[in-house]
């Protein structure tokens, strides 16, 4: 009995020593991985900044210049979009090492639930067996044709729409709790949402009169799936100002906000809500611009 106890104590000591070595090795690997992740993220941030500057320059060229220059600018913008999409896919290098982020799931699907399912083997294969990566999906932000024909403003130029930094991306944003935001990992817009908004505003409002008499400046303040309750709502906020291009005087300024129900508790359902919300917002902005421009151009009594 005494010899058996000694053997058990010896074996326990050996196991403890092996465990310490393994723990130290994992700590070392974690440190190396974190350093690599930091380097990748720094490179992605620089790439995203460069892409943003390229996109701004090309938008400015498209807004003004001859047709040949505009065609060149459009080609450059397509390149910027492609680079932006590549940077977006590299935004979270941790997924390569640690698996999908919670933003890739439906908003109510938590990582601990996924892990519990793995342990019980209900929905996912064993942790040791690598599974296929979820496919990326791309969605159009499209308000569709207006229900009522809208009058273009003869002397209006619609400047390229800008966006708050968090929403200046092709990733679709959501909020699972008040005051927080995240990105759906495998669900994206086909282009940055402010560019879709600018194009649709210009198609509805830009006239063919004396170019530059009035300029519409817009900024996308928010666009996210409010997923605090199922199925949630698609929320969009756009700040607009109408400016006298000759002297920079602000003629009118207003913030527009609209929320529409999401069709389902996931990114595709949210996109349907976004398109409905955008249609309502574009109609409101068009009516506001029309009224403000009429007041501006009305002859003095």
Q: pLDDT tens digits for 226-235?
A: 999 999 999 9
CA dist 34 → 18, 29, 31, 98, 104 (Å): 24, 9, 5, 11, 21
The region of weakest confidence among 91-100, 140-149, 193-202, 203-212 is 91-100
Confidence of residue 161 (pLDDT cuts 50, 70, 90): very high
Which residue, among 143, 161, 150, has the nearest Cα to 272 in the 3D structure?
A: 143
Contacts 24+ apart (CB under 8 A), 252-256: 252/288, 252/292, 254/288, 255/221, 256/281, 256/284, 256/285, 256/288
Which of 76-85, 119-128, 145-154 is least confident?
Answer: 119-128
At 245 the pLDDT is: 85
- The mean of the pLDDT values for the chain is 75
Residue 149 pLDDT class (50, 70, 90 cuts): low
**Confidence check: pLDDT of 65 > 60:** no
> What mean pLDDT do residues 201-223 have?
83
If one compares 299 and 59, the residue with the highest pLDDT of the two is: 59
Q: Identify the CA nearest to 60 among candidates 48, 70, 49, 71.
A: 70
Cα–Cα dist 44/84, whole Å = 10
Q: Is the pLDDT of residue 208 over 70?
A: no
Structure confidence at residue 127 as a pLDDT band (50, 70, 90): very low
Region of poorest pLDDT, from 42-56, 199-213, 255-269:
42-56
The per-residue pLDDT for 294 is 81
Instruction: Tell me: pLDDT of 96 over 80.
Output: no
Average pLDDT over residues 163-170: 97
81 pLDDT band, cuts 50/70/90, is low
Residue pair 216/240 in contact (Cβ under 8 Å)? The answer is: yes
CA Rg value for the chain: 26
Predicted local confidence at residue 213, as pLDDT: 83
| Higher pLDDT pick, 117 / 7 | 7
C-alpha dihedral sign at 168, 42, 138, 69:
positive
Note if the bond before 231 is cis, omega within 30 degrees: yes
How confident is the model over 2-27, as a mean pLDDT? Answer: 59
Interatomic CA distance for residues 267 and 280, integer angstroms: 20
């Amino acid at each position: 009995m005494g010899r058996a106890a000694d053997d058990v104590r010896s074996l326990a000591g050996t196991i403890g020593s092996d465990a310490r070595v393994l723990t130290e090795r994992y700590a070392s690997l974690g440190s190396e991985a974190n350093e690599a992740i930091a380097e990748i993220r720094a490179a992605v941030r620089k790439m995203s900044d460069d892409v943003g500057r390229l996109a701004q320059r090309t938008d400015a060229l498209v807004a003004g210049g001859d047709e040949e220059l505009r065609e060149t600018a459009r080609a450059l913008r397509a390149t910027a979009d492609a680079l932006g999409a590549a940077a977006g896919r590299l935004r979270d290098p941790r997924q390569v090492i640690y698996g999908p982020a919670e933003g890739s799931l439906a908003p109510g699907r938590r990582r601990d639930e996924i892990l519990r399912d793995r342990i019980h083997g209900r929905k996912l294969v064993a942790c040791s067996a690598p599974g296929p990566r979820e496919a990326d999906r791309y969605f159009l932000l499209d308000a569709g044709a207006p229900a009522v024909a809208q009058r273009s403003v003869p002397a209006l130029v619609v400047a390229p729409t800008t966006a708050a930094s968090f929403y200046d991306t092709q990733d679709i944003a959501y909020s699972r709790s008040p005051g927080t935001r995240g990105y759906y990992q495998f669900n994206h817009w086909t282009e940055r949402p402010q560019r879709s908004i600018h194009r649709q505003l210009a198609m509805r409002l830009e006239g063919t009169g004396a170019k530059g008499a009035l300029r519409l400046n817009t900024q996308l303040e928010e666009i996210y799936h409010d997923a605090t309750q199922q199925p949630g709502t698609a929320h969009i906020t756009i700040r607009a100002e109408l400016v006298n291009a000759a002297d920079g005087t602000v003629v009118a300024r207003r913030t527009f906000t609209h929320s529409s129900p999401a069709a389902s508790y996931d990114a595709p359902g949210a996109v349907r809500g976004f398109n409905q919300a955008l249609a309502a917002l574009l109609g409101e902005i068009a009516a506001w611009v029309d009224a403000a421009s009429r007041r501006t151009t009305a002859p003095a009594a």
